[in-house]
């Protein structure tokens, strides 16, 4: 395997603002209106999920490396995938080689599949199927971390309905009829209000994922406070906050898409006080966009580190009354989907949930989890990439090369 070398003049920096070092930006603070998310239309309308997101029905550019804000057809960007030293800086010395090897293997898989998908229609169909499965597992795993949502079988059924329109193919997206059909399905054969809530937690989560993916990847927009608020509004609509004893503390309309107005803490970490949230969130999206634009200009990116860092930064702000963990993981996976072409399901298994939560606590209290979360994301993403590459390239695992 080829050795990976880091530039000797690159020095990683500590601190919560170490990666996103960009100018302060002024972001609109208007509250999102009630909206119905547009589902990714079914493969019957668009040849494939990947082609739909690529904005091209005849050829595939995947991952969709595109210039933020540019019109389709003029938006192609070029990147060299290079490891961010922060992954190594926060890792134990004896894990550095492992991180380097994993990163090189992951980058090779991305480039192999990028070439394959651009030249083989059949492989696009295979990649579509794998991507749909993995997006579903993102919703399932993220819900499992928060102990919400449905079991896997029902999550799969609901996500396929939302993501590719199964059972709703003839109904226009964003229409009142579409929303009514979803509501009808949520209530169908339910065993009571608790079951209805579980289904809504899955449907809302999938719709929120679709909304962010549509805005950032298909429509090629920059991250913004409004986008994050809209995504949160979709995620939490009609889902009340209750205590462990079932006592109602807030209706969905009271907090969905709105910054919290009370102080919160968890695991020894005191999150940003309410009065500072608007300014800190403005800085968050400004710095994230500045970093992505800098990567675009320099044609160099580490999608795993930037995705993990954005996730960690956001959850340490904790801008909403509920749903912060799910939103931070949607941000992580939207960035990965755009720049690595895959997603990173987190939380399907108990041991994995514990590892993730332990890292989150360490990152929140002493920053040690910063590169740790990136290394964790890289490891998970590599597993997804191996599986997708094996299917797309049509090779058995035993024959797979790095």
Binding-site residue positions? 322-329
**Containing H/E element for 81?**
strand 80-81
Q: Give the whole-angstrom CA distance, residue 72 versus residue 66.
A: 9
Backbone angles phi, psi at 263, to 5 degrees: -75, 145
Determine whether 246 is exposed, middle or buried from the number of CB atoms within 10 Å of its CB (0-12, 13-18, 19+). Answer: exposed
Nearest to 260 by CA among 240, 275, 243: 275
DSSP 8-class letter at 217: I
Beta bridge partners of 81: 301
Tell me the CA distances in angstroms from 279 to 18, 24, 86, 223, 383, one per residue in order: 18, 9, 26, 15, 37
Q: Is the dihedral of CA 276, 277, 282, 286 positive or negative?
A: positive
**Burial class of residue 276 in the structure, from the number of CB atoms within 10 Å of its CB (0-12 exposed, 13-18 middle, 19+ buried):** exposed
User: Could you say which of 46, 109, 318, 349 is catalytic?
Assistant: 318
Task: Return the ∠ at Cα 363 (arms to 372 and 270), rounded to 5°.
Answer: 170
Give Cα separations from 342 to 86, 113, 184, 194, 242 (angstroms).
22, 11, 32, 33, 34
Contacts of residue 251, defined as CB under 8 A and 6 or more positions apart, other chains included, come to: 240
Environment class of 42 (CB within 10 Å of its CB; exposed 0-12, middle 13-18, buried 19+): buried
- Take residue 160 and report the two structure tokens written for it: 């396929």
- Cβ partners under 8 Å of residue 318, min gap 6: 260, 264, 266, 271, 272, 324
232 is catalytic: no
Instruction: Please report the DSSP string for 94-145 in residue order.
Output: GGHHHHHHHHHHHHHHHHHHHHHHHH-HHHHHHHHHHHHHHHHHHHHHHHHH
- Whole-number Å distance between alpha carbons of 55 and 369: 37
Q: Which residues are annotated as a binding site for ATP?
A: 322-329
Catalytic sites, residue numbers: 318
């Amino acid at each position: 395997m080829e050795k990976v070398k880091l530039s000797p003049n690159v020095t990683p920096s500590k601190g919560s603002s170490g990666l996103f070092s960009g100018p302060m930006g002024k972001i609109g603070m208007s509250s999102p209106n009630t909206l119905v998310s547009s589902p990714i239309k079914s493969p019957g309308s668009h040849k494939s999920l990947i082609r739909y997101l690529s904005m091209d029905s005849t050829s595939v550019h995947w991952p969709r490396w595109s210039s933020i804000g540019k019109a389709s057809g003029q938006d192609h960007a070029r990147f060299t995938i290079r490891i961010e030293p922060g992954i190594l800086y926060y890792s134990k010395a004896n894990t550095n080689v492992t991180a380097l090897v994993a990163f090189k293997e992951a980058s090779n898989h991305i480039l192999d599949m990028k070439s394959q998908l651009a030249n083989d229609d059949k492989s696009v169909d295979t990649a579509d199927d794998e991507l749909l499965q993995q997006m579903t597992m993102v919703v399932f795993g993220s819900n499992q971390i928060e102990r919400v949502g449905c079991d896997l079988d029902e999550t799969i059924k609901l996500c396929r309905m939302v993501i590719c329109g199964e059972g709703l193919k003839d109904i226009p997206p964003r229409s009142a009829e579409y929303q009514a059909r979803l509501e009808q399905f949520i209530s169908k054969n339910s065993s009571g209000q608790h079951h209805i809530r579980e289904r809504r937690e899955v449907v809302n989560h999938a719709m929120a994922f679709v909304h962010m993916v549509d805005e950032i990847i298909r429509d090629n927009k920059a991250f913004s406070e409004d986008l994050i608020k809209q995504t949160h509004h979709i995620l939490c609509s009609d889902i009340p906050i209750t205590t462990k004893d079932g006592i109602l503390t807030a209706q969905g309309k009271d907090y969905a898409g709105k910054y919290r107005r009370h102080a919160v803490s968890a695991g020894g970490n005191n999150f940003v006080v309410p009065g500072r949230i608007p300014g800190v969130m403005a800085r968050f999206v400004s710095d994230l966009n500045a970093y992505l634009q800098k990567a675009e200009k320099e044609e160099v990116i580490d999608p795993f580190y930037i995705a993990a860092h954005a996730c960690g930064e956001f959850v340490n702000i904790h801008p909403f009354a509920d749903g912060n963990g799910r939103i931070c993981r949607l941000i992580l996976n939207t960035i990965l989907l755009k720049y690595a072409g895959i997603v990173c399901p987190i939380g399907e298994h108990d041991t994995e949930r514990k590892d993730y939560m332990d890292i989150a606590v360490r990152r929140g209290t002493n920053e040690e989890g910063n590169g740790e979360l990136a290394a964790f994301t890289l490891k998970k993403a590599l597993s997804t990439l191996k599986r997708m590459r094996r299917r797309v390239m049509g090779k058995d695992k035993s024959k797979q090369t790095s």
